[in-house]
Structure 1
Amino acid sequence: MTKFGYPETLIREYGHWVVLLRPHQTTLGALVLACKDEARAFSDVTAGAFGELQGVVTDIEAGLNAFRPYKKINYLMLMMVDPDVHFHVLPRYDASQEFAETVYPDAGWPAAPDLSSGPTPDAAALTDLAEALKAVWPRPAD
């Protein structure tokens, strides 16, 4: 999680998962969904984490759509460099998006995302983007 800027990039923490703002914004609002379990393979994730995953994904989709309506969403479990179970969550847009005077293209649209494209905002811009997402993120159930 620290590789993805935790705790500074934290959007929401759940019992078994964290949602982080992806430091490199392949598309506007790109996130990392990381499992807090000590799991190095998806099959090693606990039953509790699997059970919680549906609600977390529901929150991700509602939060991102409230922030900026997307056309599609991609969940990529790559785990090539970081072996901990995590997904790169990429909202997909059919046109470039702008936030705080920065343009965020979706270079791969409508095909596979181009993970090397998009800006890497500075710390202040990441903080602003994280705060904008937190402001519209679904509230936890009471």
Structure 2
Amino acid sequence: MSAVPTATMTKFGYPRTLVAETPHWAVLVRPKQPTLGSLVVAARQPATAFGQLGVDAFAGLQPVVARVEAVLREVVGYERINHLMLMMVDPDVHFHVIPRYEGSRAFEGVTFPDAGWPGPPALGDAVDPDPAVLDRLIARLRAAWDAEATGTGA
């Protein structure tokens, strides 16, 4: 693990968009939202291939994924969830986590349609919320993450 953020983490707004960090992973809100609550789970160590990550990073991924899914279930109420490891534009190891639902969800007066439902996510049709709405979404997801850690729900 590195104390220096990867270029991919920085591109997706680290540290502003940070929901949570573990020793090996950073959970970030995507600044552009293909669906409400879309996240990036980025490896904190420099690696450009999934197999380059250490055993501890793999072991640490399971609880991060479980918590991401629980938080998004609560905040978004998704019907399906997609974990995409594309790494074509941003080569550092990371996943896009896209909650999927029929129709749309609303947050702070902004509508977030799932333009790709029921097919692949429409990453190019993302909502670009204004900074204040994005900040409130980050805060809501952080609160849910913290509540999930204590078992209190948010």
Question: TM > 0.5 between the two?
Answer: yes
Alignment of 1:5-84 (within 5 A): 5-84=13-92
Counterpart contact for 2:13–2:31, Cα < 8 Å: yes
Name the one with the larger helix percent.
2
User: What letter matches 2:70 in structure 1?
Assistant: A
The alignment status of 1:139 with 2:143, answered yes or no, reads no
- Corresponding residue number in structure 2 for 1:110: 118
User: 5+ residue gaps in structure 1?
Assistant: none
Q: Identity over the aligned pairs, expressed in percent?
A: 52
The count of residues paired between Structure 1 and Structure 2 equals: 141
TM-score of the superposition, structure 2-length normalised? 0.89
RMSD of aligned C-alpha atoms? 1.2
Aligned pair in 2 of structure 1 residues 115, 54: CA closer, same or farther (>3 Å)?
A: same
User: 5+ residue gaps in structure 2?
Assistant: 1-8
Deviations 1:65-117 (A, max 9, x none): 11121000000101111110000100001121111111100000011011111
Q: Distance in 2 between matches of 1:12 and 1:30?
A: 14
Aligned match of 1:2 in 2, 10, 34?
10
Displaced runs of 4 or more, over 3 A: none
User: What letter matches 1:113 in structure 2?
Assistant: P
Counterpart contact for 1:11–1:130, Cα < 8 Å: yes
TM-score of the superposition, structure 1-length normalised? 0.96
